[in-house]
Chains A and B, each alone.
Chain A
Amino acid sequence: MVTLALRNITRNLRRSLLCAFAIAVSAMSIVLLFALIDGMEMDMRDNLIKYYTGEIRIRSSAYAQNERYRPLHQSLDERALTTLLDGMDGVASSSGRIEFPLSIHLGDRSRPALGLALDFERERDFSDLEEILTEGRMPTYGANELLIGAALSSNLGIGTGERVTLLSSTALFSTNAMSFTVVGIVSPPVGALSGSTLYLGLERAQRLLFMEGQVQQMIVRAKHGVLLSSLSARIADQGEAALGIEIESKPFDEINELFAIFLTARLIYYIIALVFFILGSTVIINTTMMVIYERMAEIGMMKAMGMRDGEIRTLFLLEGAFISAAGALVGVLVGVAIAEILGRVGLDFTEAMSGVDMEISSILYPQTNLLTSVMVYLYGVIIASLATLIPTRRAAKIQVVEALNYV
Chain B
Amino acid sequence: MSRKAIVFILFVVLVTLSPLGAITAEQIISALDANTHFKSSHSMGSITTVDRFGEKTSTFEAWSKGEHTSLIEFTSRAERGQKILRTGSNLYLYYPEADQLIRLQGAALRQSVLGSDLSYEDMTKEGATLSSYRATLLGEEVVNSTPCWIVKLEAKSRSSAYPVQTIWVDQAHFVVHKARYATASERALKEMEVIEMMEVNGIMVAKESRIVDLLKRNSHTIMRIESLEVDLPLSDALFTLENLSW
Contact of B78 among A71, A173, A177 (CB under 8 A): A173
Q: How distant is the Cα of A172 from the Cα of B53 in the complex, in angstroms?
A: 11
Known: A169-B115, A177-B93. A105 touches B100 (CB 8 A): yes
* Residue in B82, B99, B115 whose beta carbon sits within 8 Å of that of A173 in the complex: B115
Q: Which chain A residue lies CB-closest to B97?
A: A178
| A-side contacts of B102, CB under 8 Å | 105, 110, 165, 167, 177
Q: CB-defined interface of A43-81 with B at 8 Å, one 1/0 digit per residue?
A: 000000000000000000000001001010100000000
Q: Which of A96-115 contact B (CB under 8 A)?
A: 105, 107-108, 110
Contact of B98 among A173, A174, A179 (CB under 8 A): A179
Q: Judge whether A178 and B98 touch: CB under 8 Å.
A: yes
In the assembled complex, B114 has its CB within 8 A of some CB on chain A:
yes
The answer for the CA separation of A174 and B59 in the assembled complex, in Å, is: 12
Contact of A177 among B52, B56, B77, B95 (CB under 8 A): B95
Least Cβ distance of B52 to chain A in Å?
Answer: 8
Within 8 A of A (CB), among B25-53: 49, 52-53
The listed residue (A66, A69, A107) touching B100 by CB distance below 8 A is A107
The answer to whether B79 has its CB under 8 Å from any CB of chain A is yes
Q: B49 touches which one: A69, A105, A170, A173 (CB < 8 A)?
A: A173
Question: Contact flags (1/0) for A154-184 with B, using CB distance below 8 Å?
Answer: 0000000001010101101111111100000
Cross-interface CB contact of A174 among B52, B53, B103, B114, cutoff 8 Å: B114
Q: Which chain A positions have C-beta within 8 A of B52?
A: 66, 69
CA–CA, A258 and B99, complex, Å: 41
Residue A210 is within 8 A (CB to CB) of chain B in the complex: yes
Q: Is B58 an interface residue (CB 8 A)?
A: yes
Residues of A within 8 A of B78 (CB): 170, 172-174, 210
Which residue of chain B is the closest to A175 with respect to CB atoms? B114
Q: Which of B74-112 contact A (CB under 8 A)?
A: 77-79, 82, 93, 95, 97-100, 102-103
Question: What is the minimal beta-carbon distance from A194 to any residue of chain B, in angstroms?
Answer: 25
B124 vs chain A, min Cβ distance (A): 16
The interface centre, meaning the residue of A73, A177, A178, A210 with most chain B CB atoms within 10 A of its CB, is A177
Inside 8 A of B77's CB, which chain A residues have their CB? 172
Kindly state the separation between the CA atoms of A167 and B99 in the bound complex, as whole angstroms.
12
Using Cβ atoms and an 8 Å threshold, which residues of chain B touch A110? Answer: 102
Residues of A within 8 A of B53 (CB): 66, 69, 71, 73, 173
Contacts of B103 in A (CB 8 A): 108
B58 contact set on A, CB distance < 8 A: 174
Given contacts A165-B98, A179-B99, A173 and B114 within 8 Å (CB-CB): yes
Query: What residue of chain B has the Cβ atom nearest to residue A163's Cβ?
Result: B99
Establish whether residues A176 and B100, one from each chain, have CB atoms under 8 Å apart when the complex forms. Answer: no
Q: Closest chain B residue to A181 by CB distance?
A: B99
**Contact partners of A179 in chain B: CB under 8 A:** 97-100
Q: How far is the CA of A200 from the CA of B26 in the complex (A)?
A: 56
Please name the residue on chain B nearest to A208 by beta carbon: B97
Interface positions of B from 99 to 155, Cβ below 8 Å from A: 99-100, 102-103, 114-115
- Report the Cα distance A69→B54, complex, angstroms: 14
Chain A residues in 8 Å Cβ range of B82 = 174-176
Contacts of A175 in B (CB 8 A): 79, 82, 114-115
Q: Residues of A contacting B99 with CB < 8 Å?
A: 163, 165, 179
Q: Determine the residue in chain A with the shortest Cβ distance to B79.
A: A174
Question: In whole Å, how far is A203's beta carbon from the nearest beta carbon of chain B?
Answer: 14
Of the A-B pairs whose beta carbons lie under 8 Å apart in the complex, a sample of 11, sorted by A's number, is A163-B99, A165-B98, A165-B100, A167-B95, A172-B56, A172-B77, A173-B49, A173-B114, A175-B82, A177-B98, A179-B100
Q: Using A165-B100, A176-B97 as known contacts, list a sample of 5 further A-B pairs with CB atoms less than 8 Å apart, ordered by residue number in A.
A: A66-B53, A108-B103, A165-B99, A174-B79, A176-B95
